[in-house]
Amino acid sequence: MHVNEAVKTLICVAAAAYATAGFAFAFRRMRAGFAALAAGWLVNAAVIAVNWTVAGTPPLGSMYHVLVVLAVCLPPLYLFLAVRDRLTWLHAYFAFASVAPLVGALCMNPDTLWRRMPALQSAWFVPHVLAYMLSYALAAVAVVLAVTGMVRGRAGAAGCAVARPRGYDVAAHRILLLGFPFMTFGLLSGMIWADQAWSAYWSWDPKEVWSLITWMLYLVYFHCRKSASLRTWANAAHCLAFAALLTTFLLVNLLPKLSSALHSYATS
């Protein structure tokens, strides 16, 4: 079987396992859920291993690659939050969130023979991209929780069992408190890397501009949430920040009019 077909098959299996885990958690079949989640993660990791072996370098340079890595980041992040903050009720959200990037990866060319271009020959390559992937994975789950909380709040479900100990808003905030330092590191490491590669810390490239806009909007969210007079705007700021994140991650890479000249290697 051709390696591209093999990885597509593995991605389908991983996505199906994550989805199975999500439904098992939703129906309170905890053992089955965790077994499916572990199986999905192992298959997801196998896809990365195949990509890495064929490419001979960490597979993080195309949209296909980063989507596969994005999915593999989510289950370990859930385990960390479950242990540190006792957010054990988030399992279904993280399981379903792991499916979405894999579905996106299936829609793209599995560039298994990808090679690093000269600009990527840097020690900052892996930590920069991985930091952003961790922050984006956490941000995706956080916005789903925020929207779910708003919907359930309007429906009068404030007494929901899973919301009683923490609340969707509190959980989303805790997740973003973990993700924002990764986003900050990604932004700063990108500036250092840019200086090494192009002799300039900042070039006002579309990718750089939207990364800065995203970072600043998350700062606005934290400020709104901390301020009593602005707290009612926190969810709006959160959703706006995530919209900017989607623009940074997807639209800047995929839409010709927004394409990033210096970051063109990030396209699929």
pLDDT score of 267: 46
Count other Cβ atoms within 10 Å, centred on residue 93. 23
**261 in the same domain as 134:** yes
**27 in the same domain as 72:** yes
249 has a pLDDT exceeding 50? yes
What whole-number distance in Å separates Cα of residue 72 and Cα of residue 60? 13
Among 115, 149, 183, residue at a domain's last position: 115
Q: Average model confidence (pLDDT) for the chain?
A: 85
215 has a pLDDT exceeding 90? yes
Among 57, 83, 115, residue at a domain's last position: 115
Contact 49, 80 (CB under 8 A): no
**156 in the same domain as 37:** no
Range 108-131 average pLDDT: 75
**210 in the same domain as 89:** no
pLDDT score of 260: 53
**162 in the same domain as 102:** no
Residue 252: which of 201, 214, 202 has the closest Cα?
214
**85 in the same domain as 140:** no
Which residue range is the domain that position 3 belongs to? 1-115
What whole-number distance in Å separates Cα of residue 235 and Cα of residue 224? 9
Instruction: Give residue 79's pLDDT band: very low, low, confident or very high (50, 70, 90).
Output: very high
**154 in the same domain as 92:** no
pLDDT score of 163: 45
Among 95, 115, 135, residue at a domain's last position: 115
Range 188-211 average pLDDT: 84
pLDDT digits (tens, 9 = 90+) for 122-172: 788 889 989 999 999 999 999 999 988 888 766 554 444 444 434 888 999
Contact 176, 139 (CB under 8 A): yes
Contact 102, 195 (CB under 8 A): no
Most trustworthy range by pLDDT among 58-67, 94-103, 160-169, 193-202: 94-103
Instruction: Show the tokens assigned to 101.
Output: 């990037």
**44 in the same domain as 79:** yes
pLDDT digits (tens, 9 = 90+) for 9-29: 999 999 999 999 999 999 999
**83 in the same domain as 194:** no
pLDDT score of 60: 81
In total, how many domains does the chain have? 2
